[in-house]
Amino acid sequence: MLNTKFVSEMLNMKVFTDAGDYFGEIEESVLAGNKVHAWRIKATKQSYLLNVLGGAKGVIVPHNFVKAIGDVMIISKAAMPSYEKEETE
């Protein structure tokens, strides 16, 4: 059976990667026509995004990276921004 949700029910939903990492919370959806095009995820305390982004507030994740939506949203680990720690000289 297919369950449906209103986009407004998704706000502040926790987002995790398929590897189990806490990613952040949904801040808003980006709509194109009558379909969800992307999700804006805000960096929250203890989220992976807060460590990676530093001063930025969040990222936009295309909807095709979403694997499942229920009590939480599961996204592909490929959506995670990669970073390398800068070496001090």
| Cβ 11 vs Cβ 24: under 8 Å | no
- pTM > 0.75: yes
Each residue of 20-46: pLDDT tens digit? 989 899 999 999 988 899 999 998 888
- Residue corresponding to tokens 């189990």: 20
| Count of C-beta atoms within a 10 Å radius of residue 6 | 7
Each residue of 47-78: pLDDT tens digit? 877 777 777 788 899 999 999 998 999 999 88
Homologous superfamily of 7-78 in CATH? PRC-barrel domain (2.30.30.240)
Each residue of 8-18: pLDDT tens digit? 889 999 999 99
Domain boundaries, the chain: 7-78
Residues 51-82 as b or e (16 or more Cβ within 10 Å = b) = eebeeeebbebeeebbeebeeebbbeeebbee
